[in-house]
Structure 1
Amino acid sequence: MEALIDKDQLLDELETPYTVSPEAIAFYRENGYVKLKQVLSPAVLSYYGDIITDLVFKLNTLIKPMEERTTYERAFLQIMNLWREDEQAREFVFSKRLARIATDLMGVEGVRLYHDQALYKEPSGGITPWHADQFYWPLASPNTVTVWIPLQETPMNMGPLAFAEKSQTVEIGRDIEISDESEQILSDELQSKNFAVNDTPFELGEVSYHAGWTFHRAGPNVSDKPRKVMTMIYMDKDQTIMTPRNSYQRADHAKWLDSFPIGGKPESELNPVLFSY
């Protein structure tokens, strides 16, 4: 007989503060990312992981065989804004625990949601090329951060996220979309400038936070199981919408910021404040 799930306990965990050490905050600000252990319990990951997985397979429209996909399509199945599809997914995405960590790492007063996205790298899924997320976002301030939450233990053969340390401070590759070209150009650039790369497995319950301009990539999934990951992108609640610089930012302005006025705050109902001091 299955153990009964105490839903109140799971919800309580998602709301309870996780203490981020001063060392972790300093590490994040210097290196542009940090990995934190035991942020979420196996019970929370199992319960909400099942809900997220069901939504991914229900909402996924990418059904081409792997060999017919682009590099980007081979990298993962990508489903966004699950919080608008399902009340229980919303409980997870709106976690104050996770949003408060983002607030503390950036040293801001509070954070809004930009959007969430599930990233499922299927067995035989390819690399995720080097890129910086903020290339896609029409946001003026670098105070943006993504939490990357593996829903299972993620050893090297599943393609965990890897980070180029301190790369959030350099102006290279800020005009390159994620592609074979970004992998090659940024790999060469990061190597020539001697950026250390953190490419290590994730334990169950370990999560990472990376800044919008931190370059990151992931290896292929050569295991026989999908690499299931949920992410939320947070921005300073006082972030400013800027004039889009490329077609992706124009699309993001309409889709994730509800075309709110340029020069103003992203205060649409799509971008709720998830935590504030």
Structure 2
Amino acid sequence: MAGLTFPDLSSMYQINAQQQSDYQQNGHILLHNIVNTEEIEIYRHLIHHGVERFNTEFRDMSERDTYGKAFLQVMNLWEVDDDIKKFTFAKRFAQIAADLMGVEKVRLYHDQALFKEAGGGHTPWHQDQYYWPIDTSNTITMWMPLIDISEEMGMLTFASGSHELGFLGNLAISDKSDDVLKNIVEEKGYPIVRASSMKAGDATFHAGWTLHHAPGNNSSKMREVMTIIFVADGAKVAEPKNSHQEADRQRWIKGLPVGSLVASELNPILNG
């Protein structure tokens, strides 16, 4: 997008004590208007184009498994597009993450575009941190729609308070994780929370252990979402508990050994 001036996302979004408390108690929070209409429109076009260029899922929906039907997934767009890097590295987002967790500084784990196609399937119940070989619970994901979305498009849905459970076993996103974790949510009686709508530039933030899922996209529009995962500075690489964590250690932490700080060249501090 030659000649375009990209919005500076370094200005701060104030998090108050009540919002921090709500996040820490529930394991998730919805925040409004983090990015304004003009800002999000510019970055939306960049990210949309990035997904079109780097998406590798070309199979017909009927040929995919549950995970494949849930969304089109493209990770670390910042590595291949310097303009998208301005979005992923935004100090505004990183400071919100730090303030909600109550830590001084946060590092990048990775970004991830999650585009749920019209007619796309549900995202099973899961815990993000199942995939991450990290020794802290101070991890958080920002989930930001790039267009206005409604409940029917596959709104992220949380089990409030479920982050208190921590690691619940080797359950990758699958039909099995959906069955096992749905039963846990019902047995524990966690409140189920989802927004009825979100504006482009709103965002949810949720903890790495928070149980969550998303219904299928029953609309005629693509649900366009960009996510960024942050980890508190000082976290260390944990012994991988499964093959997915070992793959993450190699890819997102550059293969750093167990016990090392999560501080590879792919994990810069973003609010300092």
TM-score class, shorter-chain normalisation, is over 0.9
Give the CA deviation at 1:203. 2.5
Match of 2:100 in 1: 105
Matched, 1:159 2:157: no
Match of 1:51 in 2: 46
Paired residue secondary structure (1:79): strand
Give the CA deviation at 1:176. 1.1
Match of 1:247 in 2: 243
Which runs of structure 1 show a deviation greater than 2 angstroms over 4 or more consecutive aligned residues?
Answer: 5-8, 171-175
- Select which of 231, 251, 255 maps to 2:227: 231
Give the CA deviation at 1:204. 2.9
CA 1:254 to 1:180, structure 2 compared with 1: closer, same or farther past 3 Å? same
CA 1:217 to 1:255, structure 2 compared with 1: closer, same or farther past 3 Å? same
CA distance in 1, matches of 2:129, 2:166: 12
- In the alignment, structure 2 segments of 5+ residues that lack a partner are none
Task: Provide, for residues 206-237 of structure 1, a one-character-per-residue CA deviation record: whole Å limited to 9, x for no partner.
Answer: 10100000011001011111000000000001
1:87-236 matches, cutoff 5 A:
87-171=82-166, 173-200=168-195, 201-236=197-232
Counterpart of 1:183 in structure 2: which amino acid?
Answer: D
Counterpart of 2:35 in structure 1: which amino acid?
Answer: L
Give the CA deviation at 1:174. 3.5
- In the alignment, structure 1 segments of 5+ residues that lack a partner are none
CA distance in 2, matches of 1:172, 1:109: 25
Counterpart of 2:164 in structure 1: which amino acid?
Answer: T
Task: Provide, for residues 44-88 of structure 1, a one-character-per-residue CA deviation record: whole Å limited to 9, x for no partner.
Answer: 111001000001011111100001001000000000000011111
Match of 1:18 in 2: 13
RMSD: 1.3
Matched, 1:7 2:2: no
Paired residue secondary structure (2:234): coil
CA distance in 2, matches of 1:30, 1:113: 23
Counterpart of 2:34 in structure 1: which amino acid?
Answer: V
Counterpart contact for 1:124–1:221, Cα < 8 Å:
yes
CA 1:136 to 1:7, structure 2 compared with 1: closer, same or farther past 3 Å? same
- Select which of 10, 13, 25 maps to 1:30: 25
Give the CA deviation at 1:170. 1.3
Counterpart contact for 1:132–1:174, Cα < 8 Å:
no
Give the CA deviation at 1:171. 4.5
Paired residue secondary structure (2:136): coil
CA distance in 2, matches of 1:183, 1:138: 22
In the alignment of these two chains, the number of paired residues is: 269
The alignment's TM-score, normalised by the length of structure 1, stands at 0.95
CA distance in 2, matches of 1:198, 1:153: 19
CA 1:54 to 1:27, structure 2 compared with 1: closer, same or farther past 3 Å? same
Counterpart of 1:255 in structure 2: which amino acid?
Answer: R
Match of 2:59 in 1: 64
Counterpart contact for 1:111–1:274, Cα < 8 Å:
yes
Give the CA deviation at 1:172. 6.6
Counterpart contact for 2:67–2:173, Cα < 8 Å:
yes
Give the CA deviation at 1:188. 1.5
The alignment's TM-score, normalised by the length of structure 2, stands at 0.96
